[in-house]
């Protein structure tokens, strides 16, 4: 009986871990994100028939002093076209508690970037991410954004309905 309970628990855990992730990568930072640091990822060739959802990932600690973050993300296509987006994401709830997942002082946020994307051009795509955080009333961006420890992306195949 005890073995049956363990088996059911193991099967449940494996089913919960099922993911549609095709590719992903994280870039580690030294505990802060410099305003001039452009993080670049080369996305391998993906099937041009399927649709994908693209996510950005951020890991932050309690040292992150803001409740939101501004990012500039650009996707360069294999034949040179580039699409650039300025994005704002909320990092903390109104009560100051961090959004995202994780235990302790480290949280990971999985942020929507592109939905139902088809990578129709054959070849490698390049994703570039930088931050554009500023203090209120200041023209220049925050030089060293504290509390951001990792930046990454993931691409998941859209589940067919």
Q: Residue 151: give its domain's CATH number.
A: 2.60.120
Segment 31-61, tens digit of pLDDT: 999 999 999 999 999 998 999 999 999 999 9
pLDDT at position 18: 56
Characterize 130-139 residue by residue with b for buried, 16 or more Cβ atoms within 10 angstroms of its Cβ, and e for exposed: bbebeeeeee
- Asked if the structure places residue 4 within a domain, the reply is no
Residue 6 lies in a domain: no
Give the total number of structural domains in the chain: 1
pTM of the model: 0.84
From the list 101, 109, 108, 113, the residue with the least C-alpha distance to 55 is 113
List pLDDT tens digits, range 83-133.
999 999 999 999 989 999 998 889 999 999 999 999 999 999 999 999 999
Report yes or no: 134 and 35 within 8 Å, Cβ to Cβ.
Answer: no
* Domain range for 144: 20-157
Structure confidence at residue 3 (pLDDT): 41
**114 within domain boundaries:** yes
Please report whether residue 32 resides in a domain: yes
């Amino acid at each position: 009986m005890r073995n049956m309970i363990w088996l059911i628990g193991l099967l449940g855990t494996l089913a919960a871990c099922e993911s549609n992730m095709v590719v992903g990568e994280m870039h580690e930072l030294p505990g802060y994100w410099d305003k001039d640091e452009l993080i670049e990822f080369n996305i391998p060739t993906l099937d041009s028939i399927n649709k994908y959802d693209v996510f950005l990932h951020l890991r932050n600690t309690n040292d992150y002093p803001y409740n939101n973050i501004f990012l500039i993300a650009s996707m360069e296509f294999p034949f040179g076209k580039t699409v650039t987006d300025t994005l704002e994401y909320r990092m903390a709830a109104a009560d100051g508690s961090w959004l995202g997942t994780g235990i302790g002082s480290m949280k990971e946020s999985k942020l929507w970037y592109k939905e139902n994307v088809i990578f129709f051009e054959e070849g490698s795509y390049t994703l570039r991410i930088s931050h554009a955080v500023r203090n209120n009333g200041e023209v220049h961006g925050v030089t060293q954004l504290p509390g951001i420890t990792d930046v990454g992306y993931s691409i998941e195949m859209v589940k067919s309905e």
